[in-house]
Amino acid sequence: QQQVKQSPQSLIVQKGGISIINCAYENTAFDYFPWYQQFPGKGPALLIAIRPDVSEKKEGRFTISFNKSAKQFSLHIMDSQPGDSATYFCAASTSGNTGKLIFGQGTTLQVKP
């Protein structure tokens, strides 16, 4: 019930292409869904986040799509660049609780020049 399932585990995309990472959850009490980007040797950095009152949020080349009925959300990276090569984690939390984040397993993205 507390899990967040992320796919794919790894992804290779050509420069300029679209990278898509998907996450699914079971706990309907989750109401905050952030995405984190992590480079080797660094801590995760907040990329973009969404709450379930909207179906899509866009910030620059990064877009979150949210499907409340399917309990799924995804990250789209448009015009992917080699500098986007990193590990991406989705997460979920319940704002009415402690704000504890439950993370997905991560997706390693490689963008080829």
Closest CB to another protein among residues 13, 106 = 106
Dihedral angle at the C-alpha atoms of 73, 18, 86, 88, nearest 10 degrees?
0
Would you count residue 58 as binding another protein (CB under 8 A)?
no
Q: Minimum Å distance from CB 18 to another protein?
A: 23
DSSP state of 54: -
Stretch that binds another protein, among 13-21, 59-67, 73-81, 89-97 (CB under 8 A): 89-97
HEC per residue, 16-43? CCCEEEEEEECCCCCCEEEEEEECCCCC
Closest CB to another protein among residues 8, 16 = 8
